[in-house]
Amino acid sequence: MRIGLIGAGRIGALHASTLASLPPVTGLVITDVDRDLARVLAEKVGAETADSLTDLRAAGVDAVVVSTPTSTHRALVTYAAEAGLPVFCEKPVAPDVAGTRSALAAVRAAGVPLQVGFQRRHDAGIVAVRDAIAGGTLGTVHLVRSATHDPAPPPPGYVATSGGIFRDCAVHDFDAVRFVTGREVVEVSATGANRGDAFFAEHGDVDTAVATLTLDDGTLAVCTATRYNGAGYDVRLEAHGSAGSLAAGLDEHAPLPPFATGAPYAGFGERFRDAYVAELVAFCALVAGGGPNTCPGEDALAALLVAEAADLSRREGRPVRIAEVAA
């Protein structure tokens, strides 16, 4: 199959080298508004380039992978859907609920699949937690803890357009909690703090945050996020039940002495290398008609609604039900 990749930045470069190495992908065509960036990346991974979306379509692609900034996702997903092309889109589908619903409506109307890039669904440790919960080996699960701790803050310009720590960062935790438990979130209480650079507060954001989720069966989940985890990149998830506990990500690279014996992960690219490959292997199978959609757009909407509720809860200092932000 021939895949069109839109966006040759940080995550686009990672996806390009993965796609170029996958056996079902017989051709890769890269486009970016920065044509030089697309050309350099294409040369590196042995791909073709297209100067525009029209050229990308004319190049005869069977599906597209969208890895442009979040603000462009809705329009690009809609464009691909109207062209009848299956889409893999980086998270989130849009920065807001209305934009996400609009993109989902476009793919539904076109009858094409949309897979969203919540790669933790393909992380071996997180899948093992999901399987243990589903198989009953943890007994009744009372508590889930999920953490996304970045070693250093992103640049101020990124924070300005990121949508805030819950939509940009903890949204991965919200999706992971739903994924491992198979339950829906009904209520969120959240708070945040700023003890780092001033630009977080200047953009109405926080550098560190905690969200407590109540799930529809009464299970509690706690999600923590910080932009200042000096020890290193740390993403972990734990589930604690009446019959056992299981942790994902507590390996030799977790920056937690004395458990850590190896170097900490530098960032998401290292920590989730295998998961990024697995999600695109799954997408190729989906495009070929031989595999399930491992993260449909509806799951991205559900995670975004939790982020919306968390943001509102932090701002207003009160618990927020998902039904309120979904209305």
Ligand X SMILES: NC(=O)c1ccc[n+]([C@@H]2O[C@H](COP(=O)([O-])OP(=O)(O)OC[C@H]3O[C@@H](n4cnc5c(N)ncnc54)[C@H](O)[C@@H]3O)[C@@H](O)[C@H]2O)c1
Which CB, 53 or 186, lies closer to ligand X?
53
Q: Minimal distance in Å, beta carbon 226 to ligand X?
A: 17
Which CB, 7 or 192, lies closer to ligand X?
7
- By CB under 6 A, the residues from 264 to 283 that bind ligand X are 268
Q: Minimal distance in Å, beta carbon 151 to ligand X?
A: 15
Among 10, 44, 108, 318, binds ligand X (CB under 6 A): 10
Strand 141-149 and strand 234-241: the pairing is antiparallel
First to last CA, the chain: 40
Work out whether 236 is an interface residue with ligand X (CB under 6 A): no
Which CB, 7 or 113, lies closer to ligand X?
7
Among 86, 99, 117, 255, binds ligand X (CB under 6 A): 117
Q: Minimal distance in Å, beta carbon 155 to ligand X?
A: 11
Binding segment for ligand X (CB under 6 A), chosen from 30-38, 99-107, 138-146, 290-298, is 30-38
Binding mask 32-51 for ligand X (x = CB under 6 A): xxx--x--------------
Among 18, 49, 67, 148, binds ligand X (CB under 6 A): 67
Q: Minimal distance in Å, beta carbon 176 to ligand X?
A: 12
Q: Which two tokens stand for residue 212?
A: 């407590």
Strand 234-241 and strand 245-248: the pairing is antiparallel
Which CB, 14 or 129, lies closer to ligand X?
14
Work out whether 8 is an interface residue with ligand X (CB under 6 A): yes
Beta-carbon contacts of 155 under 8 Å, excluding residues fewer than 6 positions away, are none
DSSP lists the bridge partners of residue 188 as 213, 320
Q: Minimal distance in Å, beta carbon 108 to ligand X?
A: 21
User: How many C-beta atoms lie closer than 10 Å to residue 13's C-beta?
Assistant: 20
295 closest CA partner among 283, 305, 307, 304: 283
- By CB under 6 A, the residues from 74 to 103 that bind ligand X are 90-91
Binding segment for ligand X (CB under 6 A), chosen from 29-37, 54-62, 246-254, 316-324, is 29-37
Burial class (CB in 10 A: 0-12, 13-18, 19+), 313: buried
226 closest CA partner among 323, 161, 154: 154
Which CB, 12 or 249, lies closer to ligand X?
12
Work out whether 59 is an interface residue with ligand X (CB under 6 A): no
Work out whether 208 is an interface residue with ligand X (CB under 6 A): no
Among 3, 4, 5, 7, binds ligand X (CB under 6 A): 7
Q: Within 13 Å, how many C-alpha atoms sit on residue 14's CB side?
A: 22
Which CB, 33 or 326, lies closer to ligand X?
33
Q: Minimal distance in Å, beta carbon 216 to ligand X?
A: 26
Work out whether 234 is an interface residue with ligand X (CB under 6 A): no
Of all residues in the shown chain, the one whose CB is closest to ligand X is 9
Q: Minimal distance in Å, beta carbon 193 to ligand X?
A: 23
Contacting residues toward ligand X, per CB under 6 A: 6-12, 31-34, 37, 67-70, 72, 90-91, 117, 119, 268
